Amino acid sequence: MDCPKCSTSLTKKYYKGMMEVDYCPACRGMWLDFHELDRLEDVTFDDDAHKGSLVHHETDSACPCPICGEKLQEFQYRLYSLKLDTCAANNHGFWLDAGEDERVMEIMRQRAGEISRKRQAESQWAGLLKTMHSLLTK
């Protein structure tokens, strides 16, 4: 497999001790299969209802998919300014430029934090209602 950005041969790399990715030693980008990005999200974000890859903006990229050679599509990930290249033709996976993987992790950590804070507030509120209810019905 060749790098879609600079045509250097991709090498296998064990990413953060959890999965194997195809890594470009020249531009430090990496290729992730769809299920691999799913695992990346699972690390800090395991709520399936809030997970997923919302596409907000799509444009053609000049770069070819390293697996099938079809042109990749560039899209914006969720509501953030993160841009990923994906094989839209055959759903092979994503290309992350150098540093974009850290951005994905950061977004997931941030989202997971927001949701756990919200849950905490909700359960405190529910606890208060329960207490009030039991006081009123005694």
Count of residues near Zn ion by CB under 5 A:
13
- Write the CB contacts of 101 (distance below 8 Å, at least 6 apart in sequence): 15, 30, 40
Of these, 68, 121, 126, 132, which contacts Zn ion (CB under 5 A)?
68
Closer residue to Zn ion (CB): 67 or 115:
67
> Considering only residues 75-94, where is the footprint of Zn ion by CB under 5 A?
87, 90, 92
Q: What gap in Å lies between CA 41 and CA 115, rounded to an integer?
A: 14
- 21 belongs to the binding site for Zn ion (CB under 5 A): no
Of the candidate residues 65, 88, 107, 108, the single one contacting Zn ion (CB under 5 A)? 65
Beta bridge partners of 77: 55
| DSSP line for 26-80 | TT--EEEEHHHHHHHHHHH---GGG-S--EEEEEEEEEEPTTT-PEEEEEEETTS
> Shortest approach of Zn ion to residue 87 CB, angstroms?
3
3 near Zn ion (CB under 5 A) = yes
In the complex, the residues that contact Zn ion under the rule CB under 5 A are 3, 5-6, 8, 24, 26-27, 65, 67-68, 87, 90, 92
